[in-house]
Amino acid sequence: MMNDSPRTMLRYLLMLIVFIIAMTLVITGQKSIGPAGLSTMLIGLGLLVGLLWFYNRQYK
């Protein structure tokens, strides 16, 4: 990872930020009961699935 371009490093940094946000949404949504908590968890899950899609897109 030492020879990666700044653009690649920025992409990995953004992916890490999205991952942290998604995990925070899932964890906070799990703590609250009801439709609001479920919606929060589903948004976090959608972000995680999108992140997996974005990462695996290059390995088609």
SS3 23: helix
| Residue 25 within a domain | no
pLDDT digits (tens, 9 = 90+) for 25-48: 999 998 988 999 999 999 999 999
Q: Which domain holds residue 43?
A: 6-20+33-59
* Token pair of 16 as six digits: 């890490």
| Residue 28 within a domain | no
Tell me the one-letter amino acid at 7: R
pLDDT of residue 7: 84
Domain count, the chain: 1
pTM exceeding the 0.85 threshold for the entire prediction: no
